[in-house]
Amino acid sequence: MNSKVNWKGLFYGIAYGLASRAVFALEDFRYLRTEGEPLFQTYGLMTMSFMFLVPFVIGLITAYHQDTVTSSRKIAMITMPFYAVVGLIGISVISGKEGIICALMALPVFLFMALLGGLLGVHFFERNRSKAHVSLWLILPFALAPLENHLGLTERIFTEHTTIIINASEQAVWDNITRVSRISETENNGSLFQFMGFPRPIEAELDTVAVGGIRKAIFARGLFFTERVTQMEPQRILAFSIEADPNSIPPKALDEHVLVGGKYFDVLEGRYEIEKINPNQIVLHLSSQFRLSTRFNFYSGLWSKLIMRDIQENILKIIKQRSETYQIKEAANKV
pLDDT of residue 2: 44
pLDDT of residue 76: 59
- pLDDT, one tens digit per residue, over 140-196 is 999 888 888 777 778 899 999 999 999 999 999 999 999 888 888 788 776 777 777
* Average pLDDT over every residue of 205-218: 90
- The pLDDT > 70 percentage for the chain reads 81
pLDDT of residue 261: 67
CB 6 within 8 A of CB 66: yes
* Average pLDDT over every residue of 45-55: 92
In this structure, whether the domain defined by 154-334 belongs to CATH 3.30.530.20 is answered with: yes
pLDDT of residue 238: 95
Residue-wise DSSP of 248-316: GS-TTTS-GGG-BTSSSEEEEEEEEEEEEEETTEEEEEEEEEEEEEES-HHHHHHHHHHHHHHHHHHHH
Three-class secondary structure of residue 203 per DSSP: strand
Lowest mean pLDDT, pick from 24-38, 111-125, 141-155, 219-233: 24-38
- The reply to whether the predicted model has a pTM over 0.85 is no
Task: Output 6 or 190, whichever has higher pLDDT.
Answer: 190
Domain locations along the chain: 2-149, 154-334
* Average pLDDT over every residue of 120-142: 79
Of 99, 71, 50, 12, give the one whose Cα is nearest residue 294.
Answer: 50
Cα→Cα distances 213→72, 209, 217, 240, 269, Å = 68, 6, 13, 9, 14
Lowest mean pLDDT, pick from 37-46, 128-137, 157-166: 37-46
pLDDT of residue 71: 44
Summary mean pLDDT of the chain: 83
What letter would DSSP give residue 153?
P
Q: Is pLDDT at 228 greater than 80 in this prediction?
A: yes
Task: Output 285 or 207, whichever has higher pLDDT.
Answer: 285
